[in-house]
Structure 1
């Protein structure tokens, strides 16, 4: 066995073993991202990986880095970058490169900008394709050498994040084959992983892990070089690389998804660009599983199925894309815990927190192979099931997962509430598990007004709201399944929870709900964004909901880029922290959806406008996982958080959650109605058009127009039996 390399060595808090290390290299390099299936690539602007030194770059497959370096040179020098972009649909990375001034060791000097190299990178399910189209634009013959340095380290994604390992498996000798080379690694899990590189035309033999081509191009001549990098693993069947089939398959999938979802157009082109970028990013993260579509959480750290993230993403997109919710529900139902397993924080009925496929997870070095350490995924699963039924009327799917819904409800009233006080709470069972198990899962994210960390078991405010919505939603389903007594019991539970929550969590002097209750049932008297989720679940008293909203958009909470996770006056406030003062787009979307539920239009528009403004200042209008919570400064952009996932599924879904909220859109499948309840449009949007909005087999095209503070609605096209109504 060999000693483990640490890709991003950095100091980290002892209490947080899964801390994501940040280095200068991470925070200053612009990254380009591609994803397909279980594979993703993180590259620089050149289409290279780790060309300038250690970084969280490469080709990853099933939580393992199969290609650690890919670095192109021309006569031993890095090319000059002309431009670089990822195609609008995220299918390809295009980089325009040219030669620098070259002395010409072959006796032929070459001035800069003589040779153009168009590098095109495409990702398949388990293979990366890179095409180099080389053309001589000079007036004389060009004689030069292209070289490609490559390497594979087969490190686990947790090693790339900064987690140290004492032992690793063994790197295998390189295997030369016709047209290329195979690099290999035999892991301590007994699995052999291989990276197969193929070159067309074949490389000249020059050195280990280096491919080279000597090119002589007359003026105007071109030469094409094709490179394929395939990820191979024991026990997994892989097809031979076929770049054309990969591109065609991606195009077919894109067309099918476009035909399945509602299309949105507005009078604001910048907003349309945000919509387009968000949709493309979300489509890239959505992965086909045996159970249907599932939105993987984010790249690079979370390119896998997370229960909470998948559910919240599906909820934000439910009004325009119910198929995503259907796949998410089936996947989570199939992966629900059925036994006690303390190492995985698993208990019967509990819904998945995350799943991993890498060596460290398989060996149990991290507990995340199939991990259940989240207190909110289980009630949110029930919430999504009920919301899906209300959106589609698809009782067949809901009936098929009713046993899993009942198991989730059973967990909520037993393991989730061990002391029987009616509140859901958490206390990790796995010594290696997450200390905090709500969406703010940093080790220091739940604390008291004096800065003391809260002791477990902890009852989070927002989780009680999720539980309340879950009980009521399950009651509605039970009625449809001819179980009136079960429905009545669930409604009684919801009402008891509502009454006790108001008595226990409300902080009248702070005009908000407590962040949480600690193990001694003492409230954490902190103004936090969690209170906004209480509105999302419908648990808040209406008068108190208005007071919470007013506090959330007041200066201490609102940075003018969005609502901070905690108020700027809190003891542990740090705008550069992960959860204690930063701004998370999805958090703001859920808060906005909560405002809409209570008819709080002004704060809703304020939050939506802030996130829209943020999208205008970030690269590619791609909202990251989070950004720092500094106050907005004139002419500046949001301050980046250095190791944020980008893209992140629930951030990409933010625009759809907020737009659905301002439109007030809801559905009544039995009544064949699409309803717009108190719709409102921001001052910077005069018109919003929805094409192919579906309810069952009916399809409508709609146009909403703003007239001051009022919105009119016009049905442009209708196919099938459906009524469209506005409710003021």
Structure 2
């Protein structure tokens, strides 16, 4: 993530780095409700309102521009009282139940006591629009004449402005076009693009102005009235009235979510709380998936990262490869289509490099932020090749790999030529211009790479996990080359991977720390810091087998393992701060990759400890939804984790974490050539006695499989199969 702040030049010592999310208020305190479809997402408060104000993240956003910055509902001039606010299990609809407060006349006489009028707001997104139905019902014994007021505003702020970046110039706001049933806002951007927000109402308001709609309604006892509101982020004018469009669009939106998630294997367990967490994970994941011409692509997360990120999508696809290979195929094809072909220092682009981020807002179009099509991540390129190899192992989809092979070769050339800046055999990073990201690994805060005394490492920097990914990329490329009938290329790549493994151990191993160094700085001095990065060396397989036990002890020591998960850095280190973004916090996706690494080297019990920690964290979190990260304070009995104030939720690679942990603990793998599902030394955490996986796809066959625990023993049971598919277990 590029979570850095663009701080004004007079910020002095409080400068945090570029493009960070301003942390003046806590998303966790507000617990916003989020919806997404395609390139549109909405952030609402628990009443279903969009509340404007300094630092507010609320809004309806489309392609990185806020098209609606305020929308609230008043009853007789007062805010309704919240009863409940919830998302459907499939994330299709946000429903907010509200009621009236005590209502008085101008003389102070009580006109209507509280809790007589019920307002149910139902809203969803579909094809660049937000649809809302307000159902008003009278539960009293007298007819009620009420004024329902909707106040609205469109500021057309760029997403980076909403995140806290200051702009000196803005485009042109045109006068609102007010019709009997609609209001249209138009903004002419400095990028010569016109952006439009159109609100339509059904029935027509009693009074409609440029910033508010008034509905004078009369509701008989036991009766109800319904108002429909449609907010479009484009200039389309549908033929259907909002009432009809609401109903037909809801059917289409729910059908699309069902079809998208139906590709995946389903998971049901003996623990109903965990089942809730899994359902939310799957729903969040497929809500974040956007259909592109190349296939389904998981956007990184809302509110700040609802965009195509390379690293995030690659890791998300890796976490979910066992249950839905189509995601990996879509990610690989999209990133191949957007692979850099030339040098562009402003975009940190070099031939063969894989994308970091794509943005479509006014600031990106104008170059005020570098993310129009930005390549400043050092790990996306090797992860791309790693995922391609894992996808081949999972599916044996040779045709897709044949199409990807030129892009894989280009990525390998980038690794060898541009990635290895000084010819020492390691891949380093360093931004090409002052506008680029300072740190370009997944821990991309300005202070995330440092020495034992806390001094910042000076680049070019070779990160521990990046070398692991490069090793994995060479091994994956060798597998692909062999499958494509290129044995000489495969042999060469295997030899390069073997040499990388030896060099890495010699340069990065720190006997005194019991782990691999965080990084090598520009002078090749190791950053002697205990970090979670070393767990990725287990994940990619670059760690020497004789080192594994010591690395695991370091990762699972109380200084690193908080009880909920492995911290990004240990509490013994100079820059440890459990409330920081990257220097002591706990990231679910980081732990998912570490758990896969633990399982790879046979440390299954330690993997279940991570699984147990993250599950019990989710018990205390709204909707059982694991956020992007939480603070790294030690776990306390009977208490949940401490939230990070601006953590995104949902976040794709966090949503995929429980799904990945199931694979890690079961040792689940696939051999499509022999149509075999394998379980390698399966274990289950104490909170699970049974896991049932249905519709596991293997070379056109389907398998329903139950895995049951009795004490410490775990055994599989085939519940059903379609085709000639079999199960193997290694104990």
- 2:40 corresponds to: 39
Which sits farther off after the overlay, 22-31 or 568-577? 22-31
Equivalent residues of 1:559, 1:631 under 8 A apart: yes
Shift of 1:207: 4.1
Shift of 1:28: 2.4
Equivalent residues of 2:458, 2:521 under 8 A apart: yes
Shift of 1:91: 0.7
Residues 522-544 of structure 1, C-alpha deviation per residue, up to 9 Å, x if partnerless?
Answer: 00000000000000000001121
- 2:105 corresponds to: 104
- 1:574 corresponds to: 577
- 2:635 corresponds to: 632
Alpha-carbon spacing, 1:209–1:356, altered in 2? closer, same or farther (3 Å): same
Shift of 1:635: 2.2
- Could you tell me how far apart the structure 2 residues matched to 1:17 and 1:712 are? 51
State the TM-score, normalizing by the size of structure 2: 0.96
Counterparts of 1:577-616 in structure 2, within 5 Å, are 577-616=580-619
Alpha-carbon spacing, 1:179–1:662, altered in 2? closer, same or farther (3 Å): same
- Could you tell me how far apart the structure 2 residues matched to 1:239 and 1:143 are? 32
1:260 is paired with a residue whose SS is coil
- 1:93 corresponds to: 94
Shift of 1:178: 3.9
2:719 is paired with a residue whose SS is strand
- Could you tell me how far apart the structure 1 residues matched to 2:324 and 2:573 are? 39
- 1:155 corresponds to: 157
Residues 659-715 of structure 1, C-alpha deviation per residue, up to 9 Å, x if partnerless?
Answer: 000010111111221111111111221111111111011111111111222211111
- 1:59 corresponds to: 60
Residues 432-472 of structure 1, C-alpha deviation per residue, up to 9 Å, x if partnerless?
Answer: 11100000000000000011100110000001110001101
Shift of 1:200: 0.7
- 2:214 corresponds to: 212
- 2:404 corresponds to: 401
Residues 63-94 of structure 1, C-alpha deviation per residue, up to 9 Å, x if partnerless?
Answer: 00000000110111001111111111111111
Which sits farther off after the overlay, 29-38 or 51-60? 51-60
- 1:143 corresponds to: 145
- 1:317 corresponds to: 320
Equivalent residues of 1:342, 1:430 under 8 A apart: yes
1:623 is paired with a residue whose SS is coil
- 1:24 corresponds to: 25
1:166 is paired with a residue whose SS is coil
1:288 partnered with 2:291: yes
- 1:518 corresponds to: 521
1:315 is paired with a residue whose SS is helix
- 1:3 corresponds to: none
Counterparts of 1:461-480 in structure 2, within 5 Å, are 461-480=464-483
Shift of 1:246: 1.9
- Could you tell me how far apart the structure 1 residues matched to 2:24 and 2:102 are? 32
Equivalent residues of 2:356, 2:380 under 8 A apart: yes
- Could you tell me how far apart the structure 1 residues matched to 2:249 and 2:503 are? 56
Shift of 1:252: 2.0
- 1:359 corresponds to: 362
Shift of 1:717: 0.9
Shift of 1:250: 2.0
- 2:677 corresponds to: 674
- How many residue pairs get aligned? The number is 721
- 1:221 corresponds to: 223
Q: In the alignment, which of 111, 115, 120 is matched to residue 113 of structure 1?
A: 115
- Could you tell me how far apart the structure 2 residues matched to 1:27 and 1:327 are? 32
1:494 is paired with a residue whose SS is helix
Alpha-carbon spacing, 1:623–1:10, altered in 2? closer, same or farther (3 Å): farther
Shift of 1:245: 2.8
Residues 555-581 of structure 1, C-alpha deviation per residue, up to 9 Å, x if partnerless?
Answer: 110110110000001111111100000
Counterparts of 1:272-351 in structure 2, within 5 Å, are 272-351=275-354
State the TM-score, normalizing by the size of structure 1: 0.97
Shift of 1:276: 0.6
Give the gaps of 5 or more residues in structure 1. Answer: 1-5
Q: In the alignment, which of 357, 362, 382 is matched to residue 379 of structure 1?
A: 382
Q: In the alignment, which of 262, 271, 285 is matched to residue 268 of structure 1?
A: 271
Which sits farther off after the overlay, 626-635 or 381-390? 626-635
Alpha-carbon spacing, 1:25–1:424, altered in 2? closer, same or farther (3 Å): closer
1:190 partnered with 2:192: yes
- Could you tell me how far apart the structure 2 residues matched to 1:388 and 1:31 are? 36
Equivalent residues of 2:145, 2:217 under 8 A apart: yes
Equivalent residues of 1:545, 1:598 under 8 A apart: yes
- Could you tell me how far apart the structure 1 residues matched to 2:729 and 2:208 are? 71
Equivalent residues of 1:8, 1:55 under 8 A apart: no
Q: In the alignment, which of 445, 453, 457 is matched to residue 454 of structure 1?
A: 457
Root mean square deviation of aligned Cα: 1.9
- Could you tell me how far apart the structure 1 residues matched to 2:115 and 2:719 are? 53
Residues 109-162 of structure 1, C-alpha deviation per residue, up to 9 Å, x if partnerless?
Answer: 111111111111111121011111011111112111010000000000000100
Which sits farther off after the overlay, 418-427 or 369-378? 418-427
Equivalent residues of 2:183, 2:210 under 8 A apart: no
Alpha-carbon spacing, 1:239–1:534, altered in 2? closer, same or farther (3 Å): farther
